[in-house]
Structure 1
Amino acid sequence: MFRPFSLFVGVRYTGARTRNSFISVITLISALGLMLGVAVLITVLSVMNGFERELQTRILGMVTHLSVHGREPVEDWRALADRVLREPGVKGAAPFVELQGMLTHRGTVAGLMVNGIEPEAERNVSIVGDFMWEGELDSLVPGEYNMVLGYGLARKLGVELGDKVVLVLPEASLSPAGVTPRFRRFTVTGIFRVRAEVDSLLAYVSVSDAARMARQTDTVEGVRLRLDDLFQAPRVGWTLQQTLGNGYYTTDWTRSHGNLFQAIRMEKTMMTLLLSFIVAVAAFNIISSQVMLVTEKRANIAVLRTLGATPGMIMRIFMVQGTLIGLAGTGFGVLLGILLATNVSDIGQWIESTFNAHMFDAYFVNYLPSELQWGDVGVIAAIAMLISFSATLYPSWRASRVQPAEALRYE
């Protein structure tokens, strides 16, 4: 059977026992350190991917991916929706009227953003219907002046279903009593909760009721769009701007929430860089164990040289041995990391239930999210193997420089 000399001897050296047990311990520690570093890196990145997914689902599920605004009030929003839905990548469209004002209830006042929506169409662009805490989104019937509040806003005002609240708009109206702010009484018919900042800032009313409050009867400001890929919002917006002409303009989520996702991605990058030092430390252990092994094997190296082995062969022998150690550490680390990443949510829930520790109540999710991405696993494994291979170069080069006469002089 054909066996490459360097590979055969390198594998034999890896499996053979050394006379110095300390070297074996250092080698084992090197492999274990590499395994733990890879596993921790995979687990942490999976958790960060999970938080990014939840942010994208919950926050950007409530925030519009892309909006098309009319420079003048839009009379036929369905015709506009039909036009924008022809653009590739646009998944849904719904009309809107936005109002800013204050909500009062029994002397308590809170500022808020009011979205006038059409409940059936809103489900195509928002997840609010899936996160109703109480009541129904369909209760926003035109002309009945009903309102759906965020959970935080409802708690701040102390309102429940059926309570009356007063919406006050900053626009002034002329009346016999003079200049007065515009206001209207609404009935709370629903409360939504997505565990995000919008719970304390946002309320929904019927689009026709909002249009009346804004004195835009039977018109809307534009349509909100949901995209297949929200990160394509600037490109799709630019294309729609060119298609629709000067009568419309577009805005997308990157202008209002782009900094949030940039911060998360930067944090993920920095965390990857910092945790990579764990793998680097394990690689230094590989260097130390290989240097000690070369020192112990000086006589064997000399014998191989006298039998005709070239310095390149000797170097490849120890490169094979170090690479096998790195391969073992990386392989077991990947398996452990995948196991932890796929079960970290259950582990977090077990810790909370066992020790009665509510670790995630302060966050917008009440559990530890995790999303394993195979691309991350491949990159981490490749980096670990590259670092491990690089760690074998110096000890292997040093082994190739051993002189047979010097090594055998005192044997």
Structure 2
Amino acid sequence: MASPSEQQRQKHVRGPSFTGPGGARPRAVQVLLLLLFVISWAAPLGLVALLGLLPPDLPRWLAGALTTAGVVGAGALAVLLLRWLLSGALGYESAIGLRIIRAERVPRGARVAFVWCVLIAVGGLLALSLGVTHLGLVIAVAAASFLGLLLLLVQYSSIFGTTSIVGVVLGVAALIVVQSVATGFQHEFERRVLGVYAHINVTRSTGMTEYRRFEAWLRTQPGVTGASPFVYYAMMLAPFDPEGGRTDDLRLASVLVKGIEPETAAQVIDLPQHLERGSGRAIPLEVLRSDFELMPVPDREADELPLSVAATPDPRGAGWYERAMEHYAAAPAVRKRIPGEIRSDLLDDDEWPEDVVSGSGSGGDDARFDASALPTIFVGATLAKELGLKEESLVMVVDPGSSFDSSSEPEFQYYRVVGVFQAGFQEYDSRLVYVHIRELQRFKYRGRDQVSGIDLRLIDPNLAPAVGGAIRAALPGREYSVLEWQNLNENLFKSIRFQKNIITIILSLVITVATFNVLSALWTMVVRRSAEVAILMSMGATGGQVARIFQVTGMAIGLSGSLAGVGFGLVLCWLVQLYGYTLDPEVYFIESLPVEISVTQIGWILGMTLAICFVATLPPSLRAAKLRPVEGLRYE
């Protein structure tokens, strides 16, 4: 039995004891640490919930429980890491651990080669910034950046440390680049969809006659910054030559015509910016014109309207219907014509209405077609290219719905192109056209003053579900439909998110494989340094202190690789942005590869990598902690 002085000396060598009265304290600590370790394995559930990978048909209570378990698991992992830091990882264990991967000598010429790599990378980035876009230059900059990073690591890390770090660097860099491109795709799609469609649209299947009151009420809703009525109608469009008339090779295109109110449309869509991009100059929406006089339609009775709309006064004031009817009765008949009342296939000058014919000679001998009197239209850039249209071109818009009955002929109207827009989305640029809202009211509602619905724009697009839910709650029944922008292209957005999450999981496996390299290297190190471990333990180091030495080594590799991978990934993202890789818009809907760097994504990539590296250090650390000094010194 050791003497009291010997026990005191051993206690001084081995450090403070955690033994409490009756030995209860160490056991409680061990049980608590074991419990935290078990709970920490639920942390991936939080990552799965964050990425939106939970099945959509999962019950809400189960999804909430899994998310809560993930958050609790992440908290337990954070507590373990904090305890690991405070229990000695910042003491001499870190000094010994870092010494293991420190470079013993710098290879000759490494510094000179590193300087050359930096010069090549900086010069290439500068050339790309000045507009020199060449694929060979991009490859040279990427190769110089990676080689320079490798030479920098060799100067400060051993060969063992460098090879382990490089695997983590490549995994982190690949994940950052792919995440940035996927996020760029997702947000670019969202921006372009929101540029054409409003944040929310409220529609009624049979049309709205009380849309002025409805619009006034919607403008009072929290978060709403703009509102505008609209009409949608599927039609056919073809170029028109007033001198040659219709030809045998007439080109027709199926289009979606949107009737907008020029005075308020800019409040809900980005059409002015699209017109400037497509036509090369600013075009006011007011150039959309229509001389058609709508037939006034009285609002429905108050008991037929939602309570919120019925309580909203009409912005046109009392007696508006009587005044509107007087104005409509006094309007010329030619301005109240609806499709079917004029035959647009008549090319004789004396059969055209007076507002589209002008003459310069006596008796009308030199009569000609006056295009300036026609209503106007905006067409997409791709559609204009396919049909050979430009500003001041004439087009014929055909209503195919009127031709379904063989007893009637197709009804159509002529328009003058006054602007070409480019939304940057192939589907919109090749199929969407804009006209004055009264023109579509003429076709779809036979000249009656009613609309398909109201477009809304919000302070923040992400508020659409909340604002849409509030509007939906105020409109009982199924008479009205409230559609948020997320649901307009729901399948497209879901596929983008799904692909992004799948790619993230696959590339996370690359990081996991790289950490297995760290695990195997640490395990080999423990076996090769068993004598040094035995000496430390014989001098009084505990198993936990020895384990933390190798944990520090593994975490140093993980942290160095993560930070270097972030730097290399950002360089690659910058190269992709500067090069401007082009895409086929018919396949990808957009013209160039978008890249969007997110600090949040970089943060969770760093956290995930460090967590995987920490788990990879546990087996070799436990192996070192269980090593008996006598076995380590047996052959020394």
TM range (shorter): 0.7 to 0.9
Which 4+ residue blocks in structure 1 deviate beyond 6 angstroms?
none
Q: Assess if the C-alpha contact under 8 Å between 1:208 and 1:217 holds in 2.
A: no
Match of 1:38 in 2: 172
Match of 1:160 in 2: 390
Q: Assess if the C-alpha contact under 8 Å between 2:176 and 2:570 holds in 1.
A: yes
**Helix, strand or coil: the match of 2:482?**
strand
Q: Residues 317 and 344 from structure 1, CA distance in 2 versus in 1: closer, same or farther, beyond 3 angstroms?
A: same
- Name the aligned partner's letter for residue 239 of structure 1: A
Range that drifts further, 82-91 or 64-73: 64-73
- Name the aligned partner's letter for residue 595 of structure 2: S
Asked whether 1:117 is paired with 2:260, we answer yes
Asked whether 1:54 is paired with 2:286, we answer no
Looking at structure 2, the residues matched to 398 and 159 of structure 1 have their Cα atoms a distance apart, in angstroms, of 76
Match of 1:186 in 2: 415
**Helix, strand or coil: the match of 1:149?**
strand
Looking at structure 2, the residues matched to 277 and 69 of structure 1 have their Cα atoms a distance apart, in angstroms, of 46
TM-score, length basis structure 1: 0.88
Match of 2:438 in 1: 208
Match of 2:493 in 1: 261
Residues 66-109 of structure 1: per-residue CA shift (max 9 Å, x gap): 21124554345443222112222323211111111111235111
Residues 292-341 of structure 1: per-residue CA shift (max 9 Å, x gap): 21122111111112112222221111111111111111122223333433
Match of 1:88 in 2: 222
Asked whether 1:170 is paired with 2:318, we answer no
The structure with more strand, counted as a fraction of residues = 1
Q: Assess if the C-alpha contact under 8 Å between 1:73 and 1:216 holds in 2.
A: no
Match of 1:393 in 2: 618
Q: How does 1:17-32 map to 2 (within 5 A)?
A: 17=104, 24-32=158-166
Q: Residues 11 and 163 from structure 1, CA distance in 2 versus in 1: closer, same or farther, beyond 3 angstroms?
A: closer
Range that drifts further, 128-137 or 185-194: 128-137
Q: Assess if the C-alpha contact under 8 Å between 2:102 and 2:158 holds in 1.
A: no
Match of 1:9 in 2: 96
Q: Assess if the C-alpha contact under 8 Å between 1:342 and 1:372 holds in 2.
A: no
Looking at structure 1, the residues matched to 541 and 531 of structure 2 have their Cα atoms a distance apart, in angstroms, of 13
TM-score, length basis structure 2: 0.58
Deviation for aligned residue 1:359: 5.2
Q: Which has the higher contact order (CA 8 A, sep 6+)?
A: 1
Q: Assess if the C-alpha contact under 8 Å between 1:70 and 1:222 holds in 2.
A: yes
Q: How does 1:8-407 map to 2 (within 5 A)?
A: 8-15=95-102, 17=104, 24-70=158-204, 73-75=207-209, 77-105=211-239, 106=247, 107-132=250-275, 133-134=278-279, 136=283, 137-143=285-291, 144-172=374-402, 179-196=408-425, 197-214=427-444, 215-245=446-476, 248-346=480-578, 348-349=579-580, 358=582, 363-407=588-632
Looking at structure 2, the residues matched to 248 and 365 of structure 1 have their Cα atoms a distance apart, in angstroms, of 33
Q: Residues 359 and 157 from structure 1, CA distance in 2 versus in 1: closer, same or farther, beyond 3 angstroms?
A: closer
Q: Assess if the C-alpha contact under 8 Å between 1:318 and 1:392 holds in 2.
A: yes
Looking at structure 1, the residues matched to 556 and 618 of structure 2 have their Cα atoms a distance apart, in angstroms, of 13
Looking at structure 2, the residues matched to 364 and 103 of structure 1 have their Cα atoms a distance apart, in angstroms, of 22
Q: Residues 245 and 142 from structure 1, CA distance in 2 versus in 1: closer, same or farther, beyond 3 angstroms?
A: farther
Q: Residues 243 and 216 from structure 1, CA distance in 2 versus in 1: closer, same or farther, beyond 3 angstroms?
A: farther
- Name the aligned partner's letter for residue 26 of structure 1: F
Looking at structure 1, the residues matched to 288 and 476 of structure 2 have their Cα atoms a distance apart, in angstroms, of 33
Deviation for aligned residue 1:232: 4.3
Deviation for aligned residue 1:361: 6.3
Deviation for aligned residue 1:274: 0.9
Looking at structure 1, the residues matched to 626 and 433 of structure 2 have their Cα atoms a distance apart, in angstroms, of 76
**Helix, strand or coil: the match of 1:152?**
helix
Looking at structure 2, the residues matched to 92 and 365 of structure 1 have their Cα atoms a distance apart, in angstroms, of 27
Looking at structure 2, the residues matched to 71 and 406 of structure 1 have their Cα atoms a distance apart, in angstroms, of 84
Looking at structure 2, the residues matched to 172 and 337 of structure 1 have their Cα atoms a distance apart, in angstroms, of 58
Q: Residues 155 and 278 from structure 1, CA distance in 2 versus in 1: closer, same or farther, beyond 3 angstroms?
A: same
Q: Give ranges in structure 2 of 5+ residues lacking alignment.
A: 1-87, 106-153, 240-246, 292-373
Q: Residues 165 and 69 from structure 1, CA distance in 2 versus in 1: closer, same or farther, beyond 3 angstroms?
A: same
Looking at structure 2, the residues matched to 118 and 359 of structure 1 have their Cα atoms a distance apart, in angstroms, of 34
Q: Assess if the C-alpha contact under 8 Å between 2:198 and 2:269 holds in 1.
A: yes
**Helix, strand or coil: the match of 2:410?**
strand
Deviation for aligned residue 1:239: 1.9
Deviation for aligned residue 1:141: 1.4
Looking at structure 2, the residues matched to 338 and 293 of structure 1 have their Cα atoms a distance apart, in angstroms, of 33
Match of 1:355 in 2: none
Looking at structure 1, the residues matched to 268 and 494 of structure 2 have their Cα atoms a distance apart, in angstroms, of 23
Looking at structure 1, the residues matched to 620 and 558 of structure 2 have their Cα atoms a distance apart, in angstroms, of 14
**Helix, strand or coil: the match of 1:123?**
helix
**Helix, strand or coil: the match of 1:112?**
strand
**Helix, strand or coil: the match of 2:178?**
helix
Deviation for aligned residue 1:119: 2.1
- Name the aligned partner's letter for residue 176 of structure 2: I
Q: Assess if the C-alpha contact under 8 Å between 2:288 and 2:376 holds in 1.
A: yes
Deviation for aligned residue 1:43: 1.9
Range that drifts further, 203-212 or 54-63: 54-63
Deviation for aligned residue 1:227: 2.9
Deviation for aligned residue 1:6: 2.7
Q: Assess if the C-alpha contact under 8 Å between 1:287 and 1:392 holds in 2.
A: yes
Q: Assess if the C-alpha contact under 8 Å between 2:583 and 2:590 holds in 1.
A: no
Q: Residues 316 and 226 from structure 1, CA distance in 2 versus in 1: closer, same or farther, beyond 3 angstroms?
A: same
Looking at structure 1, the residues matched to 409 and 221 of structure 2 have their Cα atoms a distance apart, in angstroms, of 44
Q: Residues 165 and 9 from structure 1, CA distance in 2 versus in 1: closer, same or farther, beyond 3 angstroms?
A: same
Looking at structure 1, the residues matched to 585 and 380 of structure 2 have their Cα atoms a distance apart, in angstroms, of 18
Deviation for aligned residue 1:122: 1.3
RMSD: 2.7
Looking at structure 2, the residues matched to 39 and 289 of structure 1 have their Cα atoms a distance apart, in angstroms, of 22
Looking at structure 2, the residues matched to 71 and 11 of structure 1 have their Cα atoms a distance apart, in angstroms, of 70
Deviation for aligned residue 1:114: 0.7
Range that drifts further, 135-144 or 95-104: 135-144
Q: Give ranges in structure 1 of 5+ residues lacking alignment.
A: 353-357
Looking at structure 1, the residues matched to 169 and 456 of structure 2 have their Cα atoms a distance apart, in angstroms, of 46
